[in-house]
Structure 1
Amino acid sequence: MNHYSDDPSGVQLQRFYLKDIQHFRDFIEQYHSPRSLAAWRRLVKGRLDAGEQMFFVLKENEIVGGVDVAAPFDSLTWRMARVWTKEPLTREELKGIARQIIGDDEVLYRVDLLCSSHIRKNMSYVRDIFDIDLEATLNTFFAPEVSLRHVGFIPWDYGYLAIVTTPDCEKIESIQFFRKGAAGLTTLVKQTAYFRGLLGFNGIIPGKEDPAMDEECEILKLARQELNRYLEGGHEPSIPYVFPEGTEFQQRVWQKTLEIPFGVVRTYAEIAEQIQPDKEKSGQLARAVGRALAANPLPIIIPCHRVIGANRELVGFGGGVDMKDYLLQLEMWYAGPVS
């Protein structure tokens, strides 16, 4: 679970440990009957020992409430959290809490927030929040709707192109081929496809328009337009993207691949020779070039489909050799003369 100090909601979760019990007592006794520090420690320790996680809720570095998180039935995909704050939180602030509970957990899919506000004027006594049912509202969030990375789906002959943005929605971070059983996709893409009804228990549900298309951020709208033009033929897509992180060798391979013109092919050996002019050494690198291209997170933009085997055979493409053939045929048909 992460502590997002810069979560865009303006609300941060700070992990609670028993050493923080004095801060907990100072805050909670503004609204609840006094107890000894030892009594609060025993109460909270019982929660933590039961496997629950507790957090302070902060706004502008001030404690405004707390969160108690549990996994119902020891579920790996579901969390139930009681959120108690001095004043009601907005939906965007609650979304920020759900986002921080999910953090980097790729399995966690659903978070239910049971929210209570406890501020009451001239109130001298309120029963222990842990032992009574308080008036509360239930807010349910799913991982795809709270993720800072946005995902768009473009239907085409081979299923969908899944486009993933950077967390700031300024650039494209990856393009993934979504077909058949959704093999090779990141968890975020699979979760988003399922959430939007593009993926079912029996696999991909093809031919549907992305239901979130009308609400996409600007970079997804641009990517959709550019990639559709590419698939219609004769257009090299121009989309702001983040050059992928990787080893120095991978990045050199990706950079050389990026330089291959529309409608032109290179062999793995030719890419290897561009990186290592010594033919004796480059001959040993062709397979490594193939492995680097297999790890390319931006196919089409970094056109790894334009790299083929030494015998001119179509080999080694993450989307499938049939898709590689389709993309090359598309480009060869519309490519102009190569000077």
Structure 2
Amino acid sequence: MQYTARYRSPMGEILLAADGTGLTGLWFEGAKYYAGGLDPEHEERELPVFGDVRKWLDIYFTGKEPDFTPPVHMTGSPFRLGVWELLRQIPYGETVTYGELAQAVAGQRGLARMSAQAVGGAVGHNPISLIVPCHRVVGADGSLTGYAGGVAKKERLLALEGVDMGKLFLPAKGTAL
């Protein structure tokens, strides 16, 4: 059984989901895959993990790096789980490209190479936004593409973390927005 709660962030309403093990979802309202993976039968209920997540988010939205990570319980294919684990290793305030992430996945799997597009698909379906920092993945040219919560939010999140935005840019309309 999954349970839900809400969090009001400076960037909009966030839906939280958890099971008995940990956080299973964190989505900005209106995100492309909003509530993706949420059980059709779920219940709004306060759980201790939601208190931990709210504390983490409160710290994060002040522009500081939280010094703890709430328990998460990610489910998905082995490929997606591997990509999401690599996302968790991207340091606060830093970015990696989809290509760099694809190289890391290839290394993880003992392959010579991996498609950046396949990795991008897994990144885009990350169910635990922010805590599993998919917003820290950018295009090879510095474009802020591919954030299910919207590239404007991605830009604000990276700026909040102190990323040098001089090297990054919003893509032209119609190109991966």
Segments ≥4 residues shifted beyond 3 Å: 187-192
Deviations 1:184-233 (A, max 9, x none): 323869999xxxxxxxxxxxxxxxxxxx8xx7222111211111111111
Deviation of residue 183 (structure 1)?
Answer: 5.6
Alignment of 1:267-286 (within 5 A): 267-277=97-107, 281-282=112-113, 285-286=115-116
- Cα separation, 2, equivalents of 1:172 and 1:299: 11
Give 1:240's aligned residue: 71
Give 2:169's aligned residue: none
- Please tell me whether the aligned partners of residues 32 and 149 of structure 2 are also in contact (alpha carbons under 8 angstroms): no
- Cα separation, 2, equivalents of 1:183 and 1:310: 22
AA aligned to 1:224 is: R
| 2:114 maps to 1:289 | no
Q: Which runs of 5+ in 1 are unaligned?
A: 1-147, 193-211, 334-339
| TM-score after normalising by structure 1 | 0.42
- Cα separation, 2, equivalents of 1:220 and 1:326: 24
- Cα separation, 1, equivalents of 2:61 and 2:100: 27
- Please tell me whether the aligned partners of residues 151 and 189 of structure 1 are also in contact (alpha carbons under 8 angstroms): no
| TM-score after normalising by structure 2 | 0.78
Give 2:139's aligned residue: 309
Alignment of 1:132-151 (within 5 A): 148-151=1-4
* Aligned with residue 33 of structure 2, among 184, 209, 216: 184
Structure index of larger Rg: 1
- Cα separation, 1, equivalents of 2:47 and 2:17: 11
Give 2:23's aligned residue: 172
Deviations 1:230-269 (A, max 9, x none): 1111123520111x22222212211111111100100000
Bigger relative contact order, structure 1 or 2 (CA pairs below 8 A, ≥6 apart): 2
AA aligned to 1:323 is: K
- Cα separation, 1, equivalents of 2:92 and 2:40: 30
